């Protein structure tokens, strides 16, 4: 089983580390918008593998230190 | 600094991908051909991850490199489907797919790692490890990254459909520039 985090923890991280972000549900993925960038491939599962979160953090320019403090990367 | 280069090379692997899809949109049919870049890495949990470099906004895991590629490929196609669901014209769809392809990581970390891994391999300090032994080898200079989005339905103008335009899904290991 790969390391993963509950979506609720990811949402808490985004609320604090990516203020002003938005999340909408597309047919296949969650679409996260922050700072004029659109991350289209966050899985819709309740638990999400950390690799997806690490990629989203890098892509959207979220502080790694901030995200790490929530234990989701 | 050989030690640092060797460490990079052992952990990061520069991959080149080629994919082709035909996507139905709202009143159009689009064919999308991609020549892209991705970075493969075995994370601490033992899983192989494929992180997009171009397109950057995508990642997928697997218990081996083939599974990681197949999941990456599926997620890419699903993203093309999701964009099509946004109910745009063909021109809007093409613009949004191009944006998805061209927009990089904010810190460009994966692109830097991709270039560093290629540089390490080209320095001759080490070779791709066993899981990559059977992958085709390709030179990035011969296969530049691009995305081509074509309208291929009855409304498409001056478009002849030819079997020679079919492109197979592939992923390949980047190799040293030919001498």
Dump pLDDT digits (tens) for A15-38. 999 999 999 999 999 999 999 999
Residue B84 contacts residue B93 (beta carbons within 8 Å): yes
For residues B5 and B117, give the distance between their C-alpha atoms in angstroms, rounded to a whole number: 8
Q: Do B57 and A40 touch (CB under 8 A)?
A: yes
B170 located within any domain: no
DSSP one-letter string for B10-74: HHEEEEEEEEEEEEE-SS-EEEEEEEEEEEEEE-TTS-EEEEEEES-S-EEEESSHHHHHHHHHH
Structural domain including B76 reads 2-152
Q: Chain B: nearest CA to A8, how far in angstroms? A: 20
Residue B126 contacts residue B14 (beta carbons within 8 Å): no
B147 located within any domain: yes
B23 touches chain A (CB under 8 A): no
Dump pLDDT digits (tens) for B124-161. 777 788 899 889 999 999 999 999 999 999 888 777 88
Quote the number of domains for chain B: 1
So what's the ipTM on this one?
Answer: 0.94
B169 located within any domain: no
Q: Do B43 and A41 touch (CB under 8 A)?
A: no
β partners of residue A27:
none
The CB-side HSE value for B24 (13 A sphere, CA atoms) comes to 0
| Nearest CB to B105; choose among A35, A50, A58 | A58
Share of chain A above pLDDT 70, in %: 97
B130 touches chain A (CB under 8 A): no
For residues B127 and B37, give the distance between their C-alpha atoms in angstroms, rounded to a whole number: 19
A39 touches chain B (CB under 8 A): yes
Dump pLDDT digits (tens) for A41-64. 999 999 999 999 999 999 999 999
B159 located within any domain: no
Q: What is the pLDDT of residue B69?
A: 98
List CB contacts (< 8 A) between B78 and chain A. 27-29, 41
């Amino acid at each position: 089983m790969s390391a993963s985090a509950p979506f609720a923890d990811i949402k808490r991280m985004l609320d604090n580390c990516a203020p002003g972000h938005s999340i909408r549900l597309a047919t296949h993925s969650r679409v996260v918008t922050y700072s004029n960038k659109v991350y289209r491939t966050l899985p819709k599962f309740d638990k999400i593998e950390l690799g997806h979160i690490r990629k989203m953090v890098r892509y959207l320019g979220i502080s790694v230190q901030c995200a790490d403090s929530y234990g989701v990367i | 600094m050989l030690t640092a280069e060797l460490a990079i090379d052992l952990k990061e692997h520069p991959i080149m991908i080629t994919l082709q899809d035909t996507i139905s949109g709202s009143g159009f049919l689009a064919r999308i051909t991609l020549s892209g870049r991705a970075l493969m890495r075995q994370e601490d949990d033992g899983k192989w991850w494929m992180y997009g470099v171009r397109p950057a906004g995508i990642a997928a895991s697997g218990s081996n490199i083939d599974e990681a590629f197949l999941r990456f490929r599926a997620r890419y196609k699903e993203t093309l489907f999701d964009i099509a669901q946004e109910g745009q014209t063909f021109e809007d769809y093409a613009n949004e797919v191009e944006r998805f392809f061209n927009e990089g990581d904010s810190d460009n970390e994966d692109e830097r790692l991709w270039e560093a891994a290629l540089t390490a391999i080209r320095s001759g300090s080490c070779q791709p490890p066993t899981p990559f032994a059977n992958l085709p080898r390709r030179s990035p200079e011969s296969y530049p990254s691009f995305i081509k989005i074509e309208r291929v339905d009855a409304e498409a103008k001056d478009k002849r459909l030819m079997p020679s335009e079919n492109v197979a899904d592939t992923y390949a290991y980047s190799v040293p520039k030919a001498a």
